[in-house]
């Protein structure tokens, strides 16, 4: 049901992520914003190609998605000017909220009069491969203009502390009902994995510089009788560089709707993230998603997985191939008494519905007298109390 206070408000979102690439944090939050009655317009980065300027506009779950179209020969400044005109055309005539996922889009908002400016810092984009050299400066400028800043995890919250007076931590949340379907025993095994033997160890998500391909190769070699199922698109790395073995099965991207069926027929989840600059601040959304599906999970020691999930013995932590094999063997055995109840108690505190509601309240209040830095009672507040 929509909120009457949302009537006439436009939420204009600037993102570096294609809406149809992977269903993740922006999609979870913005579909809820649209259901809440906001007019949500999601402006992607330009699509290069063709010979004429234009735009593609389509709808996804009440969200209007806009792709600026620019010819290949276009200079960046000209492409920005085209996207800026498109943004202004979609801004509407009522109250306007600007929501940024990428600081690189800051020039696209020039000339727009906004009632609120929100920066949802879901990733440390400056640490990713091929980050534009001007990104750091633009992020500083965006933080200076924002009315409220959210971070996608506790590590980013700690690193950003002191950069903005209205800073809040919103770590990865969960649609428990969606992934909980994997626990029901009613979902058929998808055709492209149905013939695979057990045990099956699975990963889903974007396979890029954050993925430890060498670790996958090492673990798969140590346990040739285990089947490793990899779901997701490849980005910014050469797919030919990924390990190949008879027990590694790369099944490509899957829709968000289809994920529970795959997870329902896995024996354990695995998050083989590399330990590098691009993963220093990540808070993987798939951690609670694996757990909601009822799967035991092993992860490399990503800080926002170790705390709280590893410290609460909800997720196994392992860095090397030998450690991972041992941790997965434990995961494939009988669960520790009380593990499922502890998992469900943790998940109950972090729904996407609650996250959006809390964010919405902070946005509405953002022009009130600013309080000191706060964090939700997940895990950043735990860090402050430590």
Q: What mean pLDDT comes out for the span 183-194?
A: 97
Residue 108 scores a pLDDT above 70? yes
Looking at residue 6, its pLDDT comes to 60
Looking at residue 374, its pLDDT comes to 37
Strand duo 200-204 + 167-169: pairing: unpaired
Residue 259 scores a pLDDT above 80? yes
Q: What mean pLDDT comes out for the span 192-218?
A: 96
Looking at residue 375, its pLDDT comes to 38
Q: What mean pLDDT comes out for the span 282-286?
A: 92
Looking at residue 39, its pLDDT comes to 97
Residue 238 scores a pLDDT above 90? no
Residue 242 scores a pLDDT above 60? yes
Instruction: Quickly count: other Cβ atoms within 10 Å of residue 105's Cβ.
Output: 23
Q: What mean pLDDT comes out for the span 11-19?
A: 96
Least confident of 8-22, 116-130, 208-222, 327-341: 116-130
Of 164, 63, 82, the closest CA to residue 121 belongs to: 164
Q: What's the gap between Cα 312 and its chain centre? A: 23
Residue 5 scores a pLDDT above 90? no
Distance CA 259, CA 252 (A): 12
The pLDDT mean for the chain works out to 90
Looking at residue 126, its pLDDT comes to 60
Looking at residue 12, its pLDDT comes to 98
Looking at residue 278, its pLDDT comes to 84
Distance CA 260, CA 339 (A): 20
Confidence of residue 349 (pLDDT cuts 50, 70, 90): confident
Residue 218 scores a pLDDT above 70? yes
Looking at residue 128, its pLDDT comes to 63
**Strand-pair partners of 228:** 201, 248
Any idea where the domains of the chain sit in the sequence? Answer: 4-173+352-380, 176-347
Confidence of residue 97 (pLDDT cuts 50, 70, 90): very high
Domain 176-347, CATH: 3.40.50.2000
Distances (CA, A) of 91 to 15, 34, 39, 224, 251: 15, 15, 10, 55, 40
Looking at residue 385, its pLDDT comes to 30
Confidence of residue 1 (pLDDT cuts 50, 70, 90): low
The reported pTM is: 0.88
Looking at residue 378, its pLDDT comes to 36
Residue 237 scores a pLDDT above 80? yes
Residue 152 scores a pLDDT above 80? yes
Q: Do residues 287 and 305 touch, judged by C-beta distance below 8 A?
A: yes
Is 215 or 155 the better-scoring residue by pLDDT?
A: 215
Residue 3 scores a pLDDT above 80? no
Distance CA 299, CA 305 (A): 8
pLDDT > 70 fraction of the chain, expressed in percent and rounded? 91
Instruction: Spell 28-42 as b/e; 16+ CB within 10 A means b.
Output: bbbbbbbbbbbbbbb
Distance CA 148, CA 352 (A): 19
Least confident of 46-60, 205-219, 372-386: 372-386
Distance CA 230, CA 251 (A): 6
Backbone angles phi, psi at 235, to 5 degrees: -140, 140
Confidence of residue 4 (pLDDT cuts 50, 70, 90): low
Which architecture characterizes domain 4-173+352-380 according to CATH? 3-Layer(aba) Sandwich (3.40)
Q: Long-range contacts of range 380-386, CB-CB < 8 Å, 24 or more positions apart?
A: 380/154, 380/157, 380/158, 380/169, 380/171, 381/169, 382/154, 382/307, 382/308, 383/154, 383/157, 383/158, 383/307
4-173+352-380 against 176-347: fold identical: yes
pLDDT > 90 fraction of the chain, expressed in percent and rounded? 75
Backbone angles phi, psi at 95, to 5 degrees: -55, 140
End-to-end CA distance of the chain: 39
Distances (CA, A) of 338 to 163, 335, 379: 40, 8, 21
> 71: exposed, middle or buried (C-beta count within 10 Å: 0-12, 13-18, 19+)?
middle
Q: What mean pLDDT comes out for the span 52-78?
A: 94
Confidence of residue 56 (pLDDT cuts 50, 70, 90): very high
């Amino acid at each position: 049901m929509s909120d009457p206070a949302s009537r006439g408000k436009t939420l204009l979102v600037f993102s570096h992520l294609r809406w149809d690439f992977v269903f993740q944090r922006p999609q979870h939050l913005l579909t809820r914003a649209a259901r809440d009655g906001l007019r949500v317009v999601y402006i992607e980065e330009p699509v290069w190609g063709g010979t004429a300027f234009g735009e593609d506009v389509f709808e996804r779950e009440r969200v209007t998605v806009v792709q600026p179209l620019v010819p290949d020969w276009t200079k960046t400044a000209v492409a920005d000017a085209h996207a800026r005109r498109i943004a202004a055309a979609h801004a509407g005539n009522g109250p306007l909220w600007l929501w940024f996922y990428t600081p690189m889009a800051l020039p696209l908002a020039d000339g727009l009069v906004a009632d609120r400016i929100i920066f949802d810092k879901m990733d440390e984009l400056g640490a990713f491969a091929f980050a534009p050299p001007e990104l750091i400066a633009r992020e500083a400028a965006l933080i200076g203009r924002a009315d409220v800043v959210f971070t996608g995890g506790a590590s980013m919250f700690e690193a950003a502390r002191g950069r903005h007076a209205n800073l809040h931590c919103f770590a990865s949340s969960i649609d428990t009902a969606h992934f909980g379907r994997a626990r029901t025993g009613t979902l058929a095994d998808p055709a492209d994995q149905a013939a695979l033997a057990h045990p099956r160890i699975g990963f889903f998500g974007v396979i890029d510089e954050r993925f430890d391909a060498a670790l996958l190769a090492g673990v798969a070699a140590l346990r040739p009788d285990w089947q490793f199922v990899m779901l997701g698109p490849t980005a910014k790395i050469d797919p030919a560089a990924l390990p190949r073995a008879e027990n590694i099965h790369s099944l490509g991207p899957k829709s968000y709707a289809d994920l529970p069926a795959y997870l329902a027929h896995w024996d354990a989840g695995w998050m083989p993230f590399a330990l590098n600059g691009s993963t220093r601040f990540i808070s993987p959304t798939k951690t609670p998603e694996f757990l909601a599906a009822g799967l035991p999970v092993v992860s490399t020691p990503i800080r926002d997985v170790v705390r709280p999930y590893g410290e609460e013995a909800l997720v196994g932590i392992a860095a090397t191939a030998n450690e991972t094999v041992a941790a997965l063997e434990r995961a494939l055995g009988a669960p520790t008494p009380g593990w499922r109840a502890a998992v469900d108690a943790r998940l109950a505190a972090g729904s996407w519905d609650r996250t959006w509601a809390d964010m919405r309240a902070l946005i509405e209040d953002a022009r009130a007298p600013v309080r000191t830095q706060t964090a939700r009672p997940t895990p950043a507040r735990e860090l402050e109390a430590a």
